[in-house]
Amino acid sequence: MGGIPRLATVGAGIVGGLIVLLAAWRREWEVPLHAIAATMLGVVVWVANERIWWLAALAVLNISASFWVAILRGRRRLRHSEARTEQLASQLDRRISELFSLQELSYVLSESIQLDRIVDQVARYAGRFLQADGAIVVLADDDAASVLRVVAASGTLEPLLGQVSRAADTGLVRFAIQRERIEVAQGVATPTVDLVAGITVRSAAVAPLRSQGVTMGALAVADRQGGPFTTEDLWLLSTVATNASVVLANSRLYEIVRRSKEEWETAFNALTEGIAVVGPRGAVLRANRALAALAEVAEAELVGRNFCEMLFGTSDAVAVLIEAAYRGERTAPLVVRLERNQRVLRLTAAPLAQEGSVVILVEDVTEQRIMEAQLIQNDKMASIGQLVSGVAHELNNPLTSIAGLTELLLERDVPELPREHLRVIHDQAERAGRIVRNLLTFARKGLAEQAAVDLNDVAARTTLLILYELQLHGIELESAPSPQPLVVLGDRYELQQVLLNLVTNAVQAVSGLPPGRPRRIRVCTERRDDEAVLRVYDSGAGVPPHLIPHLFTPFFTTKGPGEGTGLGLSLSYGLVKAHGGVLAYEAPAEGGAEFRLTLPCYDAPPPAPMEEAAPARVRRPLAHHILVVDEDPAVHRLVSALFTPEGHVVEAVRSGEQGLRMLKERHFDVIITDAMARAGATELFVHALAGAQPESCRRLIVGWGGNGDPGEPLPDGAIRQVRKPFNLRDLHALAGEIVASSPPPSPAATAER
Q: What pLDDT, in 10s, does the model give residues 357-404?
A: 888 888 888 878 777 777 776 676 667 667 766 777 677 778 777 877
Q: Look at 663 and 709; give whichever has higher pLDDT.
A: 663
Q: Is the dihedral of CA 129, 132, 137, 138 positive or negative?
A: negative
Which residues contact residue 671 at a Cβ distance below 8 angstroms, ignoring those fewer than 6 apart? 626, 627, 629, 659, 663, 689, 696, 699, 700, 701
CA distance 392 to 703: 13
Strands in 115-202 per DSSP E? 132-140, 148-155, 164-165, 183-186, 193-196, 199-201
Mean pLDDT, range 22-38, rounded to an integer? 64
Determine the pLDDT at residue 709.
Answer: 47
Determine the pLDDT at residue 355.
Answer: 67
Q: Look at 533 and 216; give whichever has higher pLDDT.
A: 533
Determine the pLDDT at residue 523.
Answer: 93
Q: Look at 484 and 271; give whichever has higher pLDDT.
A: 484
pLDDT score of 564 more than 60: no
pTM: 0.42
CB 215 within 8 A of CB 140: yes
Mean pLDDT, range 80-100, rounded to an integer? 68
Single out the residue of 261, 244, 236 nearest to residue 151, CA to CA: 244
CB 444 within 8 A of CB 707: yes
Mean pLDDT, range 217-223, rounded to an integer? 91
Determine the pLDDT at residue 707.
Answer: 46
CB 328 within 8 A of CB 351: yes
Count of CB atoms situated within 10 Å of the CB of 746: 10
Which 3 state secondary structure label does DSSP give 27?
helix
Lowest model confidence (mean pLDDT) among 7-11, 160-164, 730-734:
7-11
CB 332 within 8 A of CB 544: no
Q: Look at 706 and 310; give whichever has higher pLDDT.
A: 310
CA distance 720 to 715: 12
CA distance 434 to 176: 99
Q: What is the pLDDT of the chain when averaged over all its residues?
A: 77
Question: pLDDT band at 697, cuts 50/70/90?
Answer: confident
Its CATH architecture, for the domain 271-364, is: 2-Layer Sandwich (3.30)
CA distance 695 to 168: 88
CA distance 507 to 440: 22
What is the residue type of 74? G
Highest mean pLDDT among 61-75, 339-353, 576-590: 576-590
Pairing of strands 531-538, 520-528: antiparallel
SS3 helix, strand, coil % of the chain, rounded to 5? Answer: 50, 20, 30
Q: Look at 431 and 330; give whichever has higher pLDDT.
A: 330
Give CB contacts under 8 A, 24+ apart, made by 379-388. Answer: 381/443, 381/445, 382/445, 384/443, 385/440, 385/443, 385/444, 385/445, 388/439, 388/440, 388/443
CB 444 within 8 A of CB 492: no
Single out the residue of 117, 167, 159 nearest to residue 142, CA to CA: 167
What is the residue type of 100? F
pLDDT score of 526 more than 90: yes
pLDDT score of 524 more than 90: yes
Q: Do domains 116-260 and 446-610 have the same CATH topology?
A: no
Mean pLDDT, range 92-109, rounded to an integer? 63
Q: CA gyration radius for the chain?
A: 58
**All structural domains of the chain with their residue ranges:** 3-83, 116-260, 271-364, 446-610, 625-752
pLDDT > 70 in the chain, percent? 72
pLDDT score of 27 more than 80: no
pLDDT score of 59 more than 70: no
CA distance 579 to 598: 10
Give the strand order in the sheet containing 625-629.
649-653, 625-629, 670-674, 700-704, 720-723
Say if residue 19 is exposed, middle or buried (CB neighbours under 10 Å; 0-12, 13-18, 19+): buried
CB 389 within 8 A of CB 368: no
Instruction: Compute CA 89 distance to the chain's CA centroid, rounded to the nearest angstrom.
Output: 71
Strands in 517-573 per DSSP E? 520-528, 531-538
Q: What pLDDT, in 10s, does the model give residues 737-746?
A: 888 777 665 5
Mean pLDDT, range 585-614, rounded to an integer? 74
Question: pLDDT band at 620, cuts 50/70/90?
Answer: very low
| CATH topology classification for 446-610 | Heat Shock Protein 90 (3.30.565)
DSSP 626-668: EEEE-S-HHHHHHHHHHHGGGT-EEEEESSHHHHHHHHHHS--
Question: pLDDT band at 559, cuts 50/70/90?
Answer: low
Question: pLDDT band at 9, cuts 50/70/90?
Answer: low
Q: Look at 189 and 484; give whichever has higher pLDDT.
A: 484
Q: Look at 68 and 299; give whichever has higher pLDDT.
A: 299
pLDDT score of 414 more than 80: no
The DSSP secondary-structure symbol of 448 reads P
Say if residue 79 is exposed, middle or buried (CB neighbours under 10 Å; 0-12, 13-18, 19+): exposed
Lowest model confidence (mean pLDDT) among 34-38, 47-51, 533-537, 685-689:
47-51
Bridge partner residues of 134 (DSSP): 155, 222
Phi and psi based region of residue 24 (left: phi greater than 0; alpha: psi -120 to 50; beta: remaining) = alpha
Q: What pLDDT, in 10s, does the model give residues 162-177?
A: 888 877 677 888 888 8
CA distance 717 to 702: 12
φ, ψ of residue 417 in degrees (nearest 5): -80, 140
Determine the pLDDT at residue 318.
Answer: 84
DSSP 105-128: HHHHHHT---HHHHHHHHHHHHHH
Determine the pLDDT at residue 5.
Answer: 55
CATH assignment of 625-752?
3.40.50.2300
CB 724 within 8 A of CB 705: yes
Quick check: bond before 725 cis, omega within 30?
Answer: yes
CB 362 within 8 A of CB 294: yes
Q: What is the 3-state secondary structure (H, E, C) of 698-724?
A: HHEEEEECCCCCCCCCCCCCCCEEEEC
Highest mean pLDDT among 22-36, 101-115, 550-564, 639-653: 639-653
Give the strand order in the sheet containing 344-351.
284-287, 274-278, 358-364, 344-351, 334-337
Lowest model confidence (mean pLDDT) among 42-56, 381-395, 695-709:
42-56
pLDDT score of 708 more than 60: no
Q: Indicate the Cα dihedral angle 26, 30, 32, 34, nearest 10°.
A: 140
Q: What pLDDT, in 10s, does the model give residues 61-83?
A: 666 666 666 676 667 777 777 77
Question: pLDDT band at 94, cuts 50/70/90?
Answer: low
CA distance 216 to 752: 106
CB 328 within 8 A of CB 302: no
Right CATH number for 116-260 from 3.30.450.40, 2.60.40.420, 3.40.50.300, 3.40.367.20? Answer: 3.30.450.40
CA distance 49 to 551: 146
CA distance 529 to 544: 32
Lowest model confidence (mean pLDDT) among 26-40, 244-258, 381-395:
26-40
What is the residue type of 346? R
